[in-house]
Amino acid sequence: MSRLSRRQFLGTSGAVVAATVLPSVVVLPGRARAADPVLKPKKLPFPPNDEFGSYEPTVTPDGNTIYFARFANNGDKRVLSTTTDLFVTHRIKQRGEWPGTSADWTPPERLPDTVNSDSMDQEPRITPDGKTLYFMSRRNGGRGAADIWVTQKQANGQWSPAQNLGPNVNTEFTDHCFMPLGLPGQDDTSVFISVIPREAGGTPSADIYTSRMVNGVWQASQRYESKLLDSIAFKCRLNAVARDGLVLGVVSVHDFGKFHKMVFVQYDPATKEWKGPIVEAPFNQPSVDGACPMFTAGGDKMIWSAGYDRGPGPISTSGGTGGLYDLFWLPTSEIVAYYKAKAGIS
């Protein structure tokens, strides 16, 4: 079986790959000075982690429910599609500090067929009230190669049949990673990646777009203008949080489509611009996937999936294969302290 990189899955052309490189302004993590904070990812217990892997997590504000994607090729026979399905796990015993122990969590369960399809379903994002789940899907009935879909939790606890988010967000191209922007005062704004050509007939370009919800309706999306973010090649997710006097952004990027890693940036509310330095996460590992992060609604922690303990493996493919990933997390305050130290911010 021929394996396609995630970059190819996203529909980016070879011309884009040849013309785009990672920004030279990235600050590579060197040896930490004695006074520098040290970031060491914290691994969630088993469960919610298990032998089948967990990918692209999103967590409810109370930290007690985690939704994630799971690849069919890793052995879980409950994945009924040939690619990926969405799963959920619950912390039913809230004792001690989060995330608790393996005895506190339920084994992961597949979401029903009202949510999952026979195609690729990934990138879940739960809203702060826990009642709306957005995700990316390649199912039939969409507008492009991949679209954003949404399902609502009903009063009886069941999920409604998933609906396409519509032409204000989705295009005939690939649209994915529909996340809250996370900037102060912009709770009604979401950010996502689309490979719409910047000019009609032009080369597809993986850019950041935003859409704002007004009276329950997502408005027509617009390309998000930022010189700093545009300088980051192969970006596939943006999420931000305001914590400890800093608006911190985390960006998932690809190393030429081979694997994910994370970089951190900052947002200046005064100028309303993103700025550097761009600082790599110190736990990035060569040829090991570790990204797709998301801050909790309360902003107290960041959760993501990574293969740190699994070793190199495929990211995801158009055929639905993918590597084994575990769920990791860190307190946001620790990440902010690390960024401030690297950026020289007092």
Evaluate if residue 35 carries a pLDDT over 80.
Answer: no
Evaluate if residue 29 carries a pLDDT over 60.
Answer: no
The number of residues in the chain equals 346
CA distance 140 to 66: 26
Residue 242: pLDDT band (50, 70, 90) is very high
What tens digit of pLDDT does each residue of 106-115 get?
999 999 999 9
Evaluate if residue 185 carries a pLDDT over 50.
Answer: yes
Return the pLDDT at 41: 97
The overall average pLDDT reported for the chain is: 88
What tens digit of pLDDT does each residue of 70-90 get?
999 999 999 999 899 999 999
Evaluate if residue 122 carries a pLDDT over 50.
Answer: yes
Percent of the chain with pLDDT over 90: 75
- Residue 28: which of 252, 264, 259 has the closest Cα? 264
Return the pLDDT at 256: 56
CA distance 241 to 264: 11
CA distance 308 to 287: 10
Return the pLDDT at 316: 52
> What is the model's pTM?
0.90
Percent of the chain with pLDDT over 70: 86
CB-based contacts of 16, cutoff 8 Å, min separation 6: 203, 204, 205, 206
Total H helices, total E strands in the chain: 4, 22
What tens digit of pLDDT does each residue of 325-343 get?
999 999 999 999 999 999 9
Return the pLDDT at 314: 61
Return the pLDDT at 311: 77
CA distance 209 to 205: 11
Evaluate if residue 11 carries a pLDDT over 50.
Answer: no
Return the pLDDT at 182: 96
Residue 313: pLDDT band (50, 70, 90) is low
Q: Which structural domains are found in the chain, ordered by start?
A: 6-343 (2.115.10)
Identify whether the C-beta of residue 244 lies closer than 8 Å to the C-beta of residue 252. Answer: no
Return the pLDDT at 315: 59
Evaluate if residue 257 carries a pLDDT over 60.
Answer: no
Residue 19: pLDDT band (50, 70, 90) is very low
315 SS3 class = coil
Residue 254: pLDDT band (50, 70, 90) is confident
Q: What is the number of other CB atoms lying within 10 angstroms of the CB of residue 143?
A: 17
Identify whether the C-beta of residue 193 lies closer than 8 Å to the C-beta of residue 209. Answer: yes
Phi, psi of 39 (to 5 degrees): -100, 115
Burial 91-115 (b: 16+ CB within 10 A, else e): beeeeeebbbeeebbeebebbeeeb
Report which DSSP code applies to 280.
E
Residue 299: pLDDT band (50, 70, 90) is very high
- Residue 6: which of 189, 193, 165 has the closest Cα? 193
CB-based contacts of 275, cutoff 8 Å, min separation 6: 228, 265, 266, 267, 268
